[in-house]
A and B are shown apart, each in its own frame.
Chain A
């Protein structure tokens, strides 16, 4: 190898632009990438800049190959795969950083800008947020500007590059909108993005072990948003049913059910129908949430399970919107077969014995099942039970520990203890997991249900009445159920509950943001095949299919391009006949000597100086200012000098 030569510093002015564009396009990935990739990315950028500044040589091929190999292995070790959005974008980011280390020429930076565009696009594979659109526009604008900077001759002002970049983005905007509207959406996509296998399921889990976890995560993330067609139900009726847990092994409640094949219990819908539509955030689970008790729903491949829970045959991997009708007042089948009765009253003999004894003695004292339920709720209400989000761990026999020792817990503890009490006393009982409550967004008119609204309650079966909802948490902390969360009560209740209490305007800002997100989800991300068909029909296209849409799109795109070109060509004014040339023409006429073909002004000036009456100083002044005004950079001063000199003739 020849001795490596240092860089010549010629990239010093363009490199910062490339680095900035790259960094900007990495930004949306940073939160999702392993930290070492971000660190390596910026280290490479800084390193390359120092190399250029100090005129050091670029690292050798072997070294770069080694680095690339190490980074590849690093990504492989972090994700243990290289397919999927996470590892894919990690690889893309780290390889872009390494590409910097073999960037020698101006031209190489264009490759980096291409990679930037790709990085920006790949962030959309993860999630398309509301801020994605402005980010995208700004990113494309910055990358275009960097492109213009790098390809422009030295000396062009940065402001000019920015304005040209902005103009380009503006010209592209109508094209993008037309393509977005008309590009045919197809119900079954030709390709799909492999979901990251490592992504945890979010939301409610389908088992429950009170006492195992000692604190509940208070995530403010949105679980779903609801738009009601009519009045919004009162807070105490806002029970969003999800998973039903029926099996108890002394510690953990699970939803496995031997009756899964049995016909559904008949539900009699009585009064107070509520119509609404839900936009459910992806949960990667099969459960579908609906207000207690759903009667009809529009989601495909969704059925009602044996305990009236809704489930879809495929997990919910995307934001999903569906309409539903629920009845606040309903009854379930009165008749419960003996086998089912045994199943819903089974409690492991060996565990939680004190609770079982307590249940039997309380039942003996009470006159009826209803009186027993009231007694149990009264116990929660009047004795020293506390609602807390950070209860102590309970170990084995958690119900005994909870009822007799710790007496601190949240909904799961109360629901579990209550259900065990009921079962021990021979009353069929089960636990429902879902959400309770919801916050009405005054800006959008819709309701937000958050992960922090997750709740567990019980249902008991009473002779002659059927399944009935009983929420023991309401007995301990009625405000949890009765009052919805809203801005006015933040300072009081929220603080007690361990929320930080944000001021009112922060709250309003959050509500605005949420309303905008809801609209964004509905109108932009929700623009799928059905909405597109509807929109096309509204535009007057009958039987829209992808061929018609494609042709329309191509037509519109051509139209827009023609319009923009026409507008540009109309705006272009050919420069008026050069003023400097006109003034010079006057001078030639006055001098009375015809310039020869191909005779430059300088040569002509010496001839005029010799042969005509015009003073040589004036001839020189005219010639110099003419050359400057006509052939120099546009400049008013020399034109004025020429004008003055010609008028002196």
Chain B
């Protein structure tokens, strides 16, 4: 953390903050190749003060994305590997009796960091999952009846493997709702994969990369993103999209008002990342699948095979005002 006095000297205008954000985005692009739209989405998610769920097969760079995010944004980073024997105390910390002092001392758990990577979150028992999810919602943890605030900013990047079904506890809808976005990274294209194979080792690149931003900048960026202008036609557009998810015969459970709020917040942050003068329809469409995909429950008889297809269908049926 920087001291207060150096903070005062920084120019307070948005421009310097923006420059840092652009630099961070560029740095991320050099490590995660060919995934610019996902990087923009991940940054938007953090700017909208949201938590991120990355769902993909192993080896596609989930962990790398989380680590490089913390690195370039200058956030403190902790990784929690979720296993079936993980206990809540392993996440939030425990009070330990100190013989010398004769009193209990709190040993903060890995949750006390600005960016948490919750790896394979669906492997842990619901009890351990809920310890994480509670802290995501409340920005604080309660241990031994004492409430402790988490650092600010505080982000959780959770990963889960959709293919692996044995011995997992899939997150229920209500808890998926805590994540602002769900991303899928997917395979890299031929050229990028070639560069991965022949190029420098990504892990050592990560070691060398410098922080492009700071937590204080992040807080200011979050405020600026929330203040993005959204014109009336686009509020109508969001409402129309939400209505469509509720009325479509292909969807059992549509977006909740919280989902609509999440959509608006994510779109604003995306517009901010993309340097748009206001939220564009493109911003809403860009974040729609990531924000809505995990919140929708497809109907049993639907012909759409994935949430992404379903979302695409919704976008294709609602006119842009």
Taking Cβ atoms with an 8 Å cutoff, the residues of A that contact B are 1-2, 5-6, 8-10, 54-55, 153-155, 575, 578, 596-603, 627-628, 630-633, 635
Contacts and interface: CB of A to CB of B under 8 A. Distances in A.
A104 B226 CA distance: 20
A2 B152 CA distance: 15
Contacts of A598: 285, 315-320
25 contacts: A2-B146, A10-B219, A10-B223, A55-B4, A153-B227, A154-B223, A154-B224, A154-B226, A597-B318, A597-B319, A598-B315, A600-B281, A600-B285, A601-B280, A601-B281, A601-B282, A602-B280, A602-B282, A627-B276, A628-B278, A631-B279, A632-B276, A632-B277, A633-B277, A635-B277
A54 B5 CA distance: 8
A1 to B, nearest CB: 7
Given A2-B106, A154-B223, A601-B281, A631 B316 contact: no
Contacts of B279: 631
**Binding site of A, secondary structure by majority: helix, strand, loop or mixed?**
loop
B30 interface: no
Please name the 6 residue pairs, one residue from A and one from B, whose CB atoms are nearest each other, closest first. Answer: A632-B277, A632-B278, A2-B148, A600-B281, A631-B278, A55-B4
Contacts of B281: 600-601, 631
B233 interface: yes
Interface in B295-321: 315-320
B320 A630 contact: no
B191 to A, nearest CB: 22
A627 to B, nearest CB: 5
A633 B106 contact: no
A604 B130 CA distance: 45
Contacts of B278: 628, 631-633
A154 B228 CA distance: 10
Given A6-B4, A631-B276, 17 more contacts: A5-B149, A9-B7, A54-B4, A154-B224, A597-B316, A597-B317, A597-B318, A598-B285, A598-B315, A599-B320, A600-B280, A600-B282, A602-B282, A627-B276, A627-B280, A630-B231, A632-B231
A279 B319 CA distance: 75
Nearest to B108: A2
Contacts of B89: none
Contacts of B276: 627, 631-632
A155 B7 CA distance: 21
B315 A8 contact: no
Interface in B252-301: 276-282, 285
Contacts of B282: 600-603
Interface residues of B, number: 31
Contacts of B148: 2
B234 interface: yes
Nearest to A54: B4
Interface string B220-250: 0001101101011110000000000000000
A631 B231 CA distance: 5
Contacts of B319: 597-598
A419 to B, nearest CB: 77
Contacts of B106: 2
A596 B226 CA distance: 31
B268 to A, nearest CB: 11
A601 B234 CA distance: 13
A9 B229 CA distance: 24
A633 B280 contact: no
Contacts of A5: 149
Given A10-B219, A155-B227, A596 B316 contact: yes
Contacts of A601: 280-282
A17 B319 CA distance: 44
A600 B229 CA distance: 18
A599 B231 CA distance: 18
Interface in B97-132: 106
Contacts of A153: 226-227
A602 B280 CA distance: 10
